[in-house]
Structure 1
Amino acid sequence: MSAWYVRQQGSPAAVSVPDAAAVVEGLRDGNWLATDEVRGPGDAAWLPIESHPVFAEVAEEVAPPTRSSGSDDHLDMNPLIDVCLVLLIFFILTITYASLERAIDVPPVEQDKKGPAPQVQLKDIRDRVFIVRATMDGEKPVVKIEKKDVPVDQIFNEMKQVIASTGRKEMVLDVDKDVPWGVLTAILDAAKGNGVFQITRNNRK
């Protein structure tokens, strides 16, 4: 037997090639796999191409690189984490700004169709309102409820006590333009939580 024969592993059908060079050429061209079996002149049995002494070196050269175990075997979660963080920040900002968009009811005013609306004077409504003022002392916001200094985290409780002791359920809100929006939000949240929906803004001149 002068020819070489190549077959798929375990297959009874074999292809005849004229010499070993043809086997090498077929291996390089991808016609054969390194695991296919070859049998040449003088071979007593079929051998995988990658194990045959004539073709072992060539089979190693054309074999595809094997994946190394380690970091390449796991799914890269970084892009997914980045997207989740962006969505989280978006929802936080959306909820934060939405809390500022509050509908504030003001006392209705009877308007004279032939003239301007009358101005509401504090002295006229003093017996049914309590006053909340928020100003800046340097870099520090100062909140006063009925002239009493109140920490921001105690606004709700202090407002509750004032309402209980005075029976007043309307609020006059006097806020300096430099007061952080977080303080204003805390005041409005406390008012809503205490059932105060009649709020009058006292605009400073």
Structure 2
Amino acid sequence: MSAWYVRKEGSPEVLALPTAVEVLTGLRDGNFLPTDEVKGPTDATWRAIEVHPTFAEAAEYIDPPPPEVADDTHLDMNPLIDVCLVLLIFFILTITYASIERALDVPPDTADEKGAPQKIDFKDIKDRIFKVVVKMDGERPVIKIEGKEVTQDQVFTEMQNIINTTTRKEMLLDIDKDVPWGVETAILDAAKGNKVHNIINNQRK
């Protein structure tokens, strides 16, 4: 029995139809495109439906398929994700820098001459500063505020009492080189918490 064969252009998959009427019906219904290939019972080669003598006239009246319409509801999230990652990195770096700045309160260089540190006469500033001395007694750091020994937990309260009852709003910190950094950081935090106007930090000896 003779048959008509239809396939997509260059496709190995072939659809067999019993008559040319079936091919024409599929073309009109949109099941086939004019560019699809057809091969009849007497055809030696494949030809596009639109150029086949049997269907060429009918193919002229077939409207081309409508173009694909872009989906306006689609939201590309990639730019938003990129912005969020940049903000995340920025916040991480900002928090890290703030933590380092809080832990290491390095006084500015106020040298009168290059290479020569400024000399401070304690008599000239004793009316406006209170002195904090931190030394090591074996393995234990000893903290003295104006000669009074206090524990690390009492530093904030003792500073607060001095600031509230005297005119001393600045601090001179004399700290030994062997004192742990955590102790120095706690003292500096207490000074900042009491809004000490200025902190004079002697070099670790």
Instruction: State the TM-score, normalizing by the size of structure 1.
Output: 0.46
Instruction: State the TM-score, normalizing by the size of structure 2.
Output: 0.46
